[in-house]
Structure 1
């Protein structure tokens, strides 16, 4: 027994004739007759009484028809669901993301994605990069964005981006008059740092130490968004990734650093669990917005 046999049986009961069933299914009468014959033999039941050119369901045929209707509706629902999945009309996406992208950049991407695919639900967990890795390893989320590097065997990593940090200063600050800044420009400056538990803090400290720069670091915080707020308030200068810079256009002035410090982000996902189609579609969407973000920041800093 197969679904084509049930379709032919259902259509014949509904139409009352093999000819009518063939028209409903867009096939030939001989095909319908053959399918019904196969179904009767596979079930070892007579499903129709044949009289005066019409097929009348037997009592057994009526019983089978009731179940065939249920099966057909389930089959139709599967086809509809498959079409919805192909078109990203349904689905769920669970994302775990580091704060630098999760607080400013990613909400805008999710908004645009949900406007295009309103049937998709999205969950966003904002966590430290180390915590993102733990969640991916435990398969508690579909994919994540976290600062590189990572090397766990159970976590697959694709490079999402590797771009330079920008210098950020308050609007009207003397350094804002320059198109490009150097590490020595920060010597003796009040500098807003990340806390020591943040991976980026150590990279920034090593960067300035390597250039012999002594900053005044009396203020630190665990979120780059808060760093930007302190810079906006005139409490110091800092370095920020382009995603955070983009989210703070008009609040801080960003300038290119030369030499620069790289900001690397990985796209993490469980190594032994494939990404769903809707997740792959979102990641393509995400990369398009990433490129747009970088282009807008570069253009703004070169004005």
Structure 2
């Protein structure tokens, strides 16, 4: 048997109120109607959802597991209704954007600000997530598009390179490395490094970029996101290697950045569902983002110099 939306609604109401009477009040129907539908549902499912204990109902383990999925369906229905309301009242709807931390620091917010100037009534949902979370949001259509500094190999996702940069070494202004024009892995070895963990995709990139150092490089602190690494460097906890996208703007005026040599290129990728067209507002966001960043260089060319090595 397949559950219909009414049965899911009644089941959820019982779960969140804890009683047949509470569900009846929540849904503005009679208690007998709730009881009959519940009994019918359990009978057709051949599954006991609630135990009757001293006149009260207690959800079974099966009901608790089912509730997790049912609640997600309920949230999806709410989002559909919200979108329909927005489309009726404003005609512009909403756009849902997800991004990895580096590009989510300034690049994506700058584009969103310009998008909102063009569509003042537009509702924008923006989240900064890990790569796996970004992929999950897009493949499940819970986000319209994503921007990531890490490549994605997923058959349902189309990935386009938006712009290209490089890895940079960052340090406080009074740090000895700030006197160098270019920082090599061997230069970093004497100092504590804020790292990302070799088990993560970003950590692997940084680890490979520093592998040529003849001296071991000590990772003193492990963080998850590049903005956190920048904050740790600002606090004096060490130096770090991050992509230049997180350094855009004047978010970190206390820091100095120097190009890491040899050059390690990083790219910002636009991620969309391969077989789903973008909405008008999502396409507008992509156009704005392309205008804000330099295009990637031809294959084999030098990465664009989009930021100075002195962050101020």
Q: TM-score, normalised by structure 2?
A: 0.63
Give distance in 1, aligned partners of 2:239 and 2:224.
16
Match of 2:259 in 1: 256
CA contact (8 A) 2:165 2:304 kept: no
Match of 2:134 in 1: 132
CA shift at 1:232, angstroms? 0.9
The structure that has the greater radius of gyration is 1
CA contact (8 A) 2:100 2:134 kept: yes
The counterpart of 2:187, out of the listed 185, 188, 191, is 185
The counterpart of 2:273, out of the listed 264, 270, 273, is 270
The counterpart of 1:225, out of the listed 224, 227, 230, is 227
Structure 2: gaps (5+ residues): 1-86, 296-302
Give distance in 2, aligned partners of 1:261 and 1:277.
35
CA contact (8 A) 1:179 1:302 kept: no
Match of 1:285 in 2: 288
Match of 1:246 in 2: 248
Match of 1:299 in 2: 308
Distance change in 2, residues 1:116/1:296 (3 Å): farther
Deviating more after overlay: 274-283 vs 96-105? 96-105
CA contact (8 A) 1:171 1:232 kept: no
Match of 2:125 in 1: 123
Give distance in 2, aligned partners of 1:271 and 1:258.
36
Give distance in 2, aligned partners of 1:194 and 1:302.
22
CA shift at 1:133, angstroms? 1.2
Per-residue CA distance 1:89-137 (angstroms, 9 max, x = gap): x232111111122234322332232133212211112211122112211
1:155 and 2:157 are equivalent in the alignment: yes
Residue 222 of structure 2 aligns to a residue whose secondary structure is strand
Match of 1:91 in 2: 93
Give distance in 2, aligned partners of 1:92 and 1:136.
15
Residue 308 of structure 2 aligns to a residue whose secondary structure is helix
Give distance in 1, aligned partners of 2:234 and 2:240.
11
1:112 and 2:114 are equivalent in the alignment: yes
1:214 and 2:216 are equivalent in the alignment: yes
CA contact (8 A) 1:169 1:253 kept: yes
Q: For the aligned residues, what is the CA RMSD?
A: 2.6
Structure 1: gaps (5+ residues): 1-80
Per-residue CA distance 1:62-104 (angstroms, 9 max, x = gap): xxxxxxxxxxxxxxxxxxx9xx87xxxx232111111122234
CA contact (8 A) 1:133 1:146 kept: no
Give distance in 2, aligned partners of 1:91 and 1:295.
35
Residue 210 of structure 2 aligns to a residue whose secondary structure is helix
CA contact (8 A) 1:170 1:253 kept: yes
